[in-house]
Amino acid sequence: MKCEECLPLLDLYADGELSPREAYDVAAHLGACASCEARHRGLRREQALYLSYECEPPESPAFWDDVLTNIRAEKARPREAAAAAWPRRLASLLSALSAPRFSPKLTAALLLVAVVLTAAVMRYFGPTPEPPLTQRAEVRKEEAEVLPTPPAADEQGPAEGFRAAVNNSESVGGRAVVKKAGGPGEVKRTRKAQSSGVAEEASPDRLVRDAEQKYLAAIRILSRDVGRQRTRMDADTLARFERTLGVIDKSIAETRAAARRHPRDPVAVQYMLAAYDKKVEVLRDMARE
Amino acid sequence: MKKTRITLLILLTLAARAPLAAQSAPAFERDEQGHVRVKLGHGAKVAVDNTTTGRIVVEGWDRDYVEAVATSGRGTEYVRARSAVGPEGQVVALTADYGSSPLPSLPTLSGPFAEQPGQKPTPAPTPAPTPSPRPAPAEATPLWRFFRGSEEVHLNVKLPRHAELELIEVVRSEVEVSGMLTPVTVSGRRSAVKLRDVGAVEVRTERGPVEVDGASGLVDVITTDGHVHIRNVKGDVRAVSLSGRVEVRCVRGRVNVSNTQGAIVLAGVDGDVDATTVNSDVTFDGPLRGEGRYHLKSMSGAVEMGVRRNPPGFTALLSSYRGAVESDFKLGPRQPPKGPAGTRLLGRHGDGRAQITLDSFDGHVKLSRLTQDSAEGCR
């Protein structure tokens, strides 16, 4: 046995808690190693010292008599005395609040932090208007993405969306963050609520927003993929595609305005979705070029 | 002399208006059972309405007069019967109401409607009445109406098959129309609509299922939130639903359907097909037409087309940007995409005349062979 093996076992050896085999090995090592033996002797001395202390004070015969006397006196004290204790307790509480560790400033700061934390937690776990990109989780693989809010996506014109993707920017639209992890078109949403698909009882308004978000997500993915292809396209083709996208974006803006005016009109909504669909189609053609 | 001329002029004017007056006042007959009957003139239209949330059932029959009856849980109720001659001819309006209701004209109907209860009815082959006590009138107080408002009165109207129906406009009433040769137009808010064996169909609802079984003309259904089930149509079909399953079977014309949420199921369509959905699956089963165009598309759902064992020649383009593509037919080599273009399968079978396009952005796409034709049950 070496010293490194012996030293951890010394406490147990001194307490007699080692197995016979281990105790034999330790004893053999102590006989051959002066430093470990010195350490062992020190332990034994400490043990002897602790054992020499009186652990429990001797109870005097009058101890329990005093306890009983005090209990009886407490019970006999009138209620007024208890009531009179309230101001003292209140004062004690106020003094505790006014103490440096519970100063008004500190209390206000703590309250503010609590409010902010609550708001953050509710925002994170609360319902979100963003839809899942797809109901079929099995066909999605990696890549985390947060979709933009509809107004941000609206404000993002054709050129902006396209250029943002072309530049491989991590900030597309309002608050989109695309973490690139692999091949094209593989997306997994990070938020837990977005993996369950669109609820069947969702309102038509909600469904329309979800559908729009789905198209916007697809457009962003395609724009990014097209951006990777862009250097391989000739200038004429690229210009032609961009002109087409501009026309489609205008159509999207117009149909979207109509759908916003008549949100429960299925025909207006279908026109808007058809415009989005056309953009997806063109971007897919571009990706294939 | 002058007075004589004026009198003569007045008499002539009245004589000229007499046929019109006769036309504007059709003969209503009301029997002990609460049935209202009226014989329709040539080109007359029928308007049906319900002041309660009860059903409206319209049935076409081979007789030449209209018969209406209103019933509720407490027995026979009142049918308001009025007629008017407007720019488009005579209109007979029948409205279900509580038996105890007062008789002012209804705000939902405009025009010079006037009930003619005292007029002698035109003889009609009415069935022999069976004794049935008229319901005891309930208190016609506003308070009673308030609490009684939940009672549904159902209107049942039978009319000649060739009679033209005015727009049936309801809020919550269910509407059932059957056995008509003429077009049926329904506008509802929260209404189930069921049409069987009618002419052309136009339905607009906000909520509630729409079912059409048998139509000889164009079927056009638009609903915000409700399932649409259409079958046995001789004309074209257009169905749009924001939220709801759309099922179309046995259609001789072309079909154009779209929705946002809810499966689209198509079977036995002879004409061209265009189906688009965002969140759900699209399926098509049935025989292909030699020169047909079939375009099925979903944003995130699966797209599947099943064709019979020996279909006519077709050219198929199957594509999915992020899903798998599968075909039971040998369509030639899989097109290797140059860039990140997803999976595409383009190929020809036979003479390649029919055009099939199946596409999904995020879902599975499949063209399969059917062992059994699901459209065999078509009428």
Question: B362 and A134 in contact by Cβ < 8 A?
Answer: yes
Residues of chain B with pLDDT under 50: 18-23, 102-141, 149, 338-339
The reply to whether B342 touches chain A by the CB within 8 Å rule is yes
The reply to whether B171 touches chain A by the CB within 8 Å rule is no
Residues of A in contact with B301 (CB under 8 A): 135-136
Q: How far is B184 from chain A (nearest CA, A)?
A: 20
CA dist., res. B306 & res. B328, Å (int) = 9
Residues near A95 by Cβ (< 8 Å), separated by ≥ 6?
none
Q: Best-predicted range by mean pLDDT among A85-94, A220-229, B258-267?
A: B258-267
Question: B362 and A264 in contact by Cβ < 8 A?
Answer: no
Residues of B in contact with A270 (CB under 8 A): 240, 258
Residues of A in contact with B276 (CB under 8 A): 273-274, 277
Nearest CA in chain A to B362: A134
Residues of A in contact with B364 (CB under 8 A): 136, 139
Rounded to a whole number, what is the largest CA-CA distance in chain A?
109
Residues of B in contact with A273 (CB under 8 A): 258, 260, 276, 278
Radius of gyration of chain B (CA): 27
Report strand pairing: B264-269 vs B314-320.
unpaired
Question: A288 and B339 in contact by Cβ < 8 A?
Answer: yes
CA dist., res. B41 & res. B63, Å (int) = 13
Q: How far is B300 from chain A (nearest CA, A)?
A: 5
- Provide φ and ψ at B63, rounded to 5°: -90, 170
pLDDT over 90, % of chain A: 11
Nearest CA in chain A to B335: A288
pLDDT at B124: 39
Burial class (CB in 10 A: 0-12, 13-18, 19+), A82: exposed
Q: How far is A156 from chain B (nearest CA, A)?
A: 22
The reply to whether B243 touches chain A by the CB within 8 Å rule is yes
pTM, whole model, 2 decimals? 0.62
Of residues A139, A266, A287, nearest to B222 (C-beta): A266
Instruction: Work out how many CB contacts closer than 8 A connect A with B.
Output: 115
Question: A222 and B321 in contact by Cβ < 8 A?
Answer: yes
CA dist., res. B223 & res. B190, Å (int) = 10
Nearest CA in chain B to A223: B340
Which residue out of B189, B202, B203, B243 would a mutagenesis test of the A interface target, given it has the greatest number of A Cβ atoms within 10 Å? B243
Residues of B in contact with A183 (CB under 8 A): 340
Residues of A in contact with B344 (CB under 8 A): 288
Q: How far is B174 from chain A (nearest CA, A)?
A: 21
- Provide φ and ψ at B15, rounded to 5°: -65, -40
Query: How many distinct helices (H) and strands (E) make up chain B?
Result: 2, 30
Of residues A186, A204, A277, nearest to B225 (C-beta): A204
State the CB neighbour count (10 A cutoff) for residue A146. 17
Give the residue-averaged pLDDT of A184-208: 51
Residues of A in contact with B279 (CB under 8 A): 135, 197-198, 207, 210-211, 214
Give the residue with greater pLDDT, A180 vs B192.
B192
Of residues A135, A186, A277, nearest to B279 (C-beta): A135
Q: How far is B242 from chain A (nearest CA, A)?
A: 6
Residues near A145 by Cβ (< 8 Å), separated by ≥ 6?
A133, A176, A177, A178, A179, A187, A188, A189, A190, A217, A220, A221
Whether the pLDDT of residue A273 is over 80: the answer is: yes
pLDDT over 70, % of chain A: 62
Beta-bridged to residue B255, according to DSSP, are: B237, B273
Residues of A in contact with B321 (CB under 8 A): 185, 218, 222, 284
pLDDT at A57: 56
Q: Which residues of chain A are at the B interface, by a Cβ-Cβ cutoff of 8 Å?
A: 133-136, 139-140, 183-187, 197-198, 200, 202, 204, 207-208, 210-211, 214-215, 218, 222, 225, 228-229, 232, 264-267, 269-270, 273-274, 277, 280, 284, 287-289
Residue A207 pLDDT level (bands cut at 50, 70, 90): confident
Q: How far is A208 from chain B (nearest CA, A)?
A: 7
Q: Kindly report the average pLDDT of chain A as a whole number.
A: 69
Sheet holding A171-172, edge to edge: A171-172, A176-178, A144-146, A188-189
Question: B362 and A139 in contact by Cβ < 8 A?
Answer: yes
Nearest CA in chain A to B222: A266
Give the residue with greater pLDDT, A99 vs B274.
B274
Residues of A in contact with B339 (CB under 8 A): 225, 228-229, 232, 287-289
Helix axis angle for A20-32 and A34-52, nearest 10°, is: 120
pLDDT at A131: 36
Question: B342 and A284 in contact by Cβ < 8 A?
Answer: yes
DSSP tag of A207: H
Q: How far is B55 from chain A (nearest CA, A)?
A: 25
Asked whether the beta carbons of B346 and B357 are under 8 A apart, the reply is no
Whether the pLDDT of residue A254 is over 90: the answer is: yes
Residues of A in contact with B299 (CB under 8 A): 211, 214-215, 218, 277, 280
